[in-house]
Amino acid sequence: MNKTRLKSLIITAELPYPPASGGSLRVWGLLRGLHAAGYELTVVCCQQGEVLPPLAQLAHVVTVPVAPKRRIQRLITLTTSTQPDIAARLYDKRVLQCVVDLLSTEDFNLVQVEGIETACYLEPLRERFPSLKLVFDTFNAEAVMQRTIAQIDRQSLRGWPRALYSYVQSRRIAAYERHLCQQADLVVTVSEEDRNHLAAYGAQTPLTVVPSGITVNDYMLPTQPRDDNLIVFTGKMDYRPNVDAVEWLVKEILPHVPQAQLKIVGQQPTEQVRALASERVEITGRVPQVQPYLQAAAIYVAPLRMGSGTRLKLLEAMACGCAIVATPLAASGLTSDVEQVMRIAEDAREFAAAVQSLLADPQERARLGSAARNYVEQHYDWSVIVPRLLAAHRELMHG
């Protein structure tokens, strides 16, 4: 990889190491790649925490913790403002002042904001530093995701209030995303689908696709026997699409797979998620590593009905050689040939049938797992992905 000496300031919502969520996995992978390419990195993080040596070795890190907005504050924003809730979630004058001070005392080539939650700093930075190169790394097409959430939630009477909230937010986020695309000099999306959604806003800002990835070799732990009846789901368990996925899995799919045992692996499970625990369903909470759970699983399941972008949980399962059953939405954002390395199932009965079939066929599980690992090495290892961002940065800087 050619060394590219760019001095870059990265604004993140959370400390990217240790990576404990999809967002932190993405930022950690990008930081490692940019550092290897010769970038001089400064990270401003909106979260308090210890800066551990692996991160400190890559970047100068400044933490400015932003207190979460109280529910009443968010309700006031919803009823008195046309801005989406997410626009003010991580805005703090102290963070802005920290970034302004850094930019005023050091010569940075570009600033990259990670995710829509930190994109609130694009406009004030544009006003203060008109010639500064600003990059918006989107993570998701948020308006589309909120529309999908609204469509799912309105299917039950209990979900109507959430559906109304998501519908209102989707309209506001669409206007906000359009504005953010106009403020940035480069917009980075994680999939062609997301790129097409944002391109429809009509902004003249260049859009480039840089998928989320993983370092495949990080998942090469000593192999262990797989449990022939174990299915596993992983993810941050206070994230709305994940909560919906496991509720649907336990209530609509698992009853049709009577021999299966399920482990739901991930930090911060909500009360809704904890209520799903039973003799057949284990809720682990935070775990030191997901790899042992993935390597023990007969099948990895991704019953997602909401969301957008690249599902890092799927990439991790592929790297561990899991046989996978996923919904079409869960597999969207990946290359079209992904259907050759996993089973795709649309509704609950089709999903259950796919799981049941694979539980009864260890040879087919092994074949799919091997094909999945080869697929992720070819398409989604950071060594393949980071050069795309480097090329986009070069084009931004030198035109």
The tens digit of pLDDT for each residue in 164-205 reads 888 888 999 999 999 999 999 999 999 898 999 999 999 899
Top mean pLDDT of 19-23, 221-225, 290-294, 354-358 is at 354-358
- How much is the pTM? 0.85
Task: Identify the band that residue 265 occupies on the pLDDT scale cut at 50, 70 and 90.
Answer: very high
Separation CA 208–CA 164 (nearest Å): 32
**Span 335-350, mean pLDDT?**
93
Domain ranges of the chain: 7-212+382-398, 216-379
- C-alpha 25/C-alpha 23 separation (Å) is 5
| Structural element, H or E, at residue 307 | none
**C-alpha to C-alpha distances, 314 to 27, 266, 373, nearest whole angstrom:** 17, 14, 11
Residue at token pair 């991160």: 55
Task: Tell me the two tokens of residue 4.
Answer: 């590219």
Q: What integer is the mean pLDDT of 240-267?
A: 96
If one counts every other C-beta atom within 10 angstroms of the C-beta of residue 282, the result is 15
Model pLDDT, residue 22: 83
End-to-end CA distance of the chain: 20
Q: Please tell me the CATH code under which domain 216-379 is placed.
A: 3.40.50.2000
pLDDT of 178 reads: 96
Q: Cα–Cα distance between 367 and 250 in angstroms, integer? A: 27
Q: Is CATH 3.40.50.2000 the classification given to domain 7-212+382-398?
A: yes
Separation CA 322–CA 341 (nearest Å): 10
> What's the rounded Cα separation, in Å, for the pair 28 and 229?
33
CB atoms within 10 A of CB 171: 14
Per-residue model confidence as pLDDT tens digits over 53-94: 999 999 999 999 998 777 777 777 777 778 898 998 899 999
Query: Which neighbouring-strand residues pair with 233?
Result: 264
216-379 has the same fold as 7-212+382-398? yes
How do residues 128-161 score in pLDDT, each as one tens digit?
999 999 999 999 888 888 888 888 888 887 888 8
